[in-house]
Amino acid sequence: MSEYMDLLMFGMVCVVLLAGYPVAFTLGGVALVFALIGVVTGTFNESFLQFMPNRLYGIMTNTTLIAVPLFVFMGVMLERSRVADKLLDTMAGLFGSLRGGLGFSVIIVGMLMAASTGIVGATVVTMGLLSLPTMLRRGYDPAISTGTICASGTLGQIIPPSIILVLLGDVLSAAYQQAQLSQGIYSPEPVSVGDLFVGALIPGLILVVLYLVYLVGVAIFQPKLMPAIPVEDRQTNRNDIIKQIIVALFPPLLLILAVLGSIIAGVATPTEAASVGAIGSIVLAIGQRQFNLKILNEVMTSTVRITSMVFLIFIGASIFSLVFRGFGGDETVRELLTNLPGGAFGAMTAVMLVMFLLGFILDFIEITFVVVPIVAPILLGMGLNPVWLGIMLAVNLQTSFLTPPFGFALFYLRGVAPPSVTTGQIYRGVIPFIIIQLITLAMLAIWPELATWLPTQVYGK
């Protein structure tokens, strides 16, 4: 039984999470209980627990992770400044004469919100409240409407600045150094959050284009599902539309350029760029006349709450991984992956499948902090490119947000959708977008250059 303690601990975590217990306390609590059992039975060396203070101190002093609360603040502030409202109204006026115009508007606004906030839950809820009633009132099919909103909201997972890319970048950086040191490379090449940000741009834009192509196909072949806005309800003054586009698009685009442009140009680190984004979101809110002390207090409270949740999970996951390694779990995983047929391809396929399935029950934060530190050093030791691996993992985690029955984006939208929209319609609506996600994953697997070419051009590596 002792040789299976690592697997039993992982299975127990899944069982306790399904029972509804908080993630952070489940990870840390189950790990400590199994450590106690291991000490009593002589299967666990308690000296492993002495590394815990150093791990927690490392989390507290990690400058990369400072970007998390700053990006969260930026996203929540932009949500309160009603940027999405104006963007959606403007895009609806621009595309309203086309069948499927509202759907196109939702995808484009979702892309801009993803590049501005990077918070999936906030984007899905905001887009659901703003666009779903309008789409249903205009005669759009409920499944198409909900699927489009959920898919556009999850773009915040892959389009930078994304919180998942910040967390993945930090975890992969440590894993890549560990993999190189194990190979006798004592001057390891770094991989940074900026590398992942740049590497995610092309895959993110590919997803947006494929989403739009799908909606164009539906509009052409099933026009009744996505009717155009009636002529009498359209804004026909072209000058007014152009003026609204300039007014609505310029501020968020300027903010996106300031954040991403400074990272890509090498002027600022992701943490420094996040601080620029946080200040820029305040300026944008002031310009939209949506800023006062009450709103600032609400935004700061929400930021502290979300950031505390992320770091509590990080601490719980660190305790879990420490005990897991104490039971020899990393060696178990290494033997399992290296003995799979197909070498690196077989190991990568198995990891992607496991992470996809774990996405049914775990949030992306838990998967990033629990699973990635265990499997990433092994995969990187097989010669996989760290940027490509990070983007593949990010797209895979994005897919899990949409997958019924436990996709988090589905729950976010279900919470704000009117009673007339059934859960079955939401599930049916996201299926085409899940297929698009899987196609994108296949494209990345066949052509890794989609993720690695741009970082090579920008950073020369």
Do the Cβ atoms of 280 and 290 come closer than 8 Å? Answer: no
DSSP string, 350-418: HHHHHHHHHTTTS-HHHHHHHTHHHHHHHHHHTT--HHHHHHHHHHHHHHHHH-TTT-HHHHHHHHHS-
Contacts with 70 (C-beta within 8 Å, 6 or more apart), sequence order:
271, 274, 275, 277, 278
Do the Cβ atoms of 218 and 226 come closer than 8 Å? Answer: yes
State residue 264's pLDDT score: 78
What's the average pLDDT block by block, 10 residues per block, for the chain (461 residues)? Answer: 75 80 84 89 82 81 82 82 74 74 86 72 76 86 92 86 84 83 70 87 94 94 84 60 74 83 81 88 84 88 86 84 82 79 86 82 76 86 89 88 77 83 90 94 94 86 58
Rounded to 5 degrees, what angle do the CA atoms 417, 414, 363 make? 145
On whether the pTM is more than 0.85, the answer is: no
Contacts with 46 (C-beta within 8 Å, 6 or more apart), sequence order:
35, 39
Matching residue, tokens 């890319």? 165
State residue 419's pLDDT score: 85
Helices 238-264/67-80 angle, 10° precision: 170
Q: Which two three-digit tokens encode residue 259?
A: 């954040």
Q: Is 421 helix (H, G, I), strand (E, B) or coil?
A: coil
Q: Which two three-digit tokens encode residue 297?
A: 């207090």
